[in-house]
Amino acid sequence: MDANQMNSTNDTVCKLREKLAAAGLRPTRQRLEIGNLLFESGDRHFTAEMLHAEANRLRYPPSLATVYNTLHLFAAHGLLREIAVYGAKTWYDTKTGPHFHFYREDREELFDIPDALIPILNIAAPEGTMIEAIDVVVRLRSI
């Protein structure tokens, strides 16, 4: 294990390497570092800017272009999910399965709606189309 992986367990790194391999992605230093940040703890919700800020604390931080690149790649290969919210920024979620989100506008926080609260959305796609995804964002404000 080299210096770049000092703060992750061997186990975590191995799983991540498998994850990348399964997706057909080369295990570059930058992807491993970003992957470690993203997947070492539970579900995370973040923007490119937030991830880049976090990555800048690493010894050899990946560039902003690489952060965007990696996020797109991870999303395209099912390791992450993109979420459209009001405002300019794109959000990402490490939980990829179907679920909905709360967005707290005053704090700019995005978080999952617990499964228990989710009714089944049973919507039929129009002729000639199929449903790619269902995006539900419940916007909240403080009382």
Partner DNA sequence: ATAGCTGCAAATGCTTTGCAAGGCC
Partner DNA sequence: GGCCTTGCAAAGCATTTGCAGCTAT
- Which residues of the shown chain bind DNA in the complex (CB under 7 A)? 25-31, 47-49, 60-66, 68-70, 72, 88-90
Q: Shortest gap between Cβ of 68 and a second copy (angstroms)?
A: 14
Alpha carbons 87 and 130: distance in angstroms, whole number: 27
The item of DNA, a second copy, none sharing an interface with residue 99, based on CB under 5 to 8 Å by kind, is none
The span from the CA of 75 to the CA of 81, in Å, is 5
CA distance 78 to 129: 22
Q: How far is the CB of 50 from a second copy (least distance, A)?
A: 19
Partner interacting with residue 137 (select from DNA, a second copy, none; CB below 5-8 Å by kind)? a second copy
User: Nearest distance from residue 101's CB to DNA, in Å?
Assistant: 16
The site map against a second copy for 100-139 (x = CB under 8 A) is x-x-xx-------x---xxxxxxxxxx-xxxxxxxxxxxx
Strands 45-47 and 109-112: unpaired
